[in-house]
């Protein structure tokens, strides 16, 4: 049981969005708090993100993105995990004159996570955990040409992207831990020569693990920072300088309830400092809820 509690120190949320800058931003892929567990996992997550777009400092449109992701993680070896995610997205953009809705399958992502450090003390408690992951986001989702003003809210980007990620956890005692994750997404070009800019992400959070009845309640509080480079077009026609370029810092809170073979998770993320598209786009509240079925290896 103790081992079970300890490995839960990291919440395993693999979240990703095919759209890199949906009226603002979305995060890189993430392995999250459950990297140190040895379950096979099969899950579903519902997500919500919101953005406001401004024109001459007046709100011109509001974008809301709802997603449902099917995800899995397969423990190939005690040091190798294979995970995947297939999103379905529904996005709505509301302007003064009405609304536009774009929906469909997003881009399939696959990732391999290699555990390079998993130190345990004599009681079996994982003290230090370090892993590196490499993955790919495919161009399988619904996408459109860059000249379409709704491109950013399409579920797919049309490009193959390389994902690189590291995940480190330190467990102070049986209750408190700290988890940090850094990732880079190297963006490819779509069939029209357009590329979203590379993106960098850093997440760091304190983790509190408590028993509740026969379950475990795992809470996490921290921050998430992202930087997106400007989009590029491999053609003679230039695009707007600094398009989709910017950063966001957000406060993040997550709560997870774990049973013997299931995990129920929810998170909220609220930006507190950001500058995208030279201030034209602002990210709002993000939230998600997920259920994972855990299969003992």
**Smallest separation, CB 246 to another protein (Å):** 20
**Contacts with 144 (C-beta within 8 Å, 6 or more apart), sequence order:** 150, 151, 154, 158
Sign of the alpha-carbon torsion through 1, 174, 14, 193: negative
**Which positions from 89 to 108 touch another protein by CB under 8 A, shown as an x/- string?**
-------xxx----------
Q: Would you say 14 and 111 are in contact if contact means Cβ atoms under 8 Å apart?
A: yes
Q: Which stretch binds another protein (CB under 8 A): 30-38, 51-59, 219-227, 235-243?
A: 51-59
Q: Would you say 40 and 75 are in contact if contact means Cβ atoms under 8 Å apart?
A: yes
The SS3 assignment for 16 reads coil
Nearer to another protein, 1 or 55 (CB): 55
Nearer to another protein, 98 or 238 (CB): 98
Nearer to another protein, 60 or 78 (CB): 60
Binding residues with another protein: total (CB under 8 A): 9
**Smallest separation, CB 241 to another protein (Å):** 19
Q: Would you say 78 and 69 are in contact if contact means Cβ atoms under 8 Å apart?
A: no
The pair of three-digit structure tokens given for residue 46, joined into one six-digit string: 């519902």
Nearer to another protein, 129 or 276 (CB): 276
The span from the CA of 67 to the CA of 60, in Å, is: 23
> Is 237 a binder of another protein (CB under 8 A)?
no
The SS3 assignment for 170 reads strand
Nearer to another protein, 99 or 261 (CB): 99
**Smallest separation, CB 274 to another protein (Å):** 20
Q: Which of residues 7-46 bind another protein (CB under 8 A)?
A: none
First to last CA, the chain: 15
Question: Which one among 2, 44, 60, 291 touches another protein, defined by CB under 8 A?
Answer: 60
At 37, give phi and psi (nearest 5°): -80, 165
The span from the CA of 242 to the CA of 244, in Å, is: 6
The pair of three-digit structure tokens given for residue 149, joined into one six-digit string: 């003003």
> Is 236 a binder of another protein (CB under 8 A)?
no
The span from the CA of 85 to the CA of 211, in Å, is: 30
Q: Which stretch binds another protein (CB under 8 A): 58-66, 85-93, 156-164, 287-295?
A: 58-66
Nearer to another protein, 96 or 236 (CB): 96
* Residue 156: other Cβ atoms inside 10 A: 23
> Is 77 a binder of another protein (CB under 8 A)?
no
Question: Which one among 3, 48, 54, 192 touches another protein, defined by CB under 8 A?
Answer: 54
List of residues contacting another protein (CB under 8 A): 54-56, 58-60, 96-98
């Amino acid at each position: 049981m103790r081992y079970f509690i300890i490995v839960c120190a990291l919440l395993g949320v693999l979240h990703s969005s095919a759209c890199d800058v949906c009226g603002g931003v979305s995060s890189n892929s993430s392995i999250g708090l459950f990297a140190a567990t040895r379950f096979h996992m099969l899950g579903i997550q519902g997500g919500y993100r919101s953005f406001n777009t401004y024109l001459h400092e007046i709100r011109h449109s509001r974008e809301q993105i709802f997603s449902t992701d099917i995800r899995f993680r397969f423990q190939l070896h005690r040091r190798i995990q294979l995970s995947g995610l297939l999103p379905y997205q529904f996005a709505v953009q509301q302007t003064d004159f009405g609304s536009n809705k774009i929906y469909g399958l997003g881009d399939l992502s696959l990732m391999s996570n290699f555990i390079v450090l998993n130190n345990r003390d004599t009681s079996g408690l994982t003290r230090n955990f370090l892993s590196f992951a490499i993955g790919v986001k495919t161009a399988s989702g619904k996408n459109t040409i860059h000249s379409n003003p709704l491109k950013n809210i399409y579920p797919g980007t049309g490009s193959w992207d390389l994902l690189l990620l590291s995940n480190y956890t330190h467990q102070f005692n049986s209750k408190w831990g700290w988890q940090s994750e850094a990732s880079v997404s190297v963006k490819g070009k779509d069939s029209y020569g357009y590329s979203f800019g590379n993106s960098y992400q850093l997440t760091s959070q304190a983790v509190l693990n408590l028993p509740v009845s026969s379950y475990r309640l795992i809470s996490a509080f921290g921050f998430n920072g992202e930087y997106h480079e400007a989009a590029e077009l491999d053609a003679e026609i230039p695009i707007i300088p600094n398009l989709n370029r910017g950063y966001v810092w957000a406060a993040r809170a997550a709560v997870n309830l774990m049973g013997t073979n299931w995990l129920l998770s929810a998170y909220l993320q609220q930006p507190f400092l950001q500058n995208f598209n030279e201030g034209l786009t602002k990210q709002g509240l993000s939230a998600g809820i997920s259920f994972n079925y855990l299969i003992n290896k």
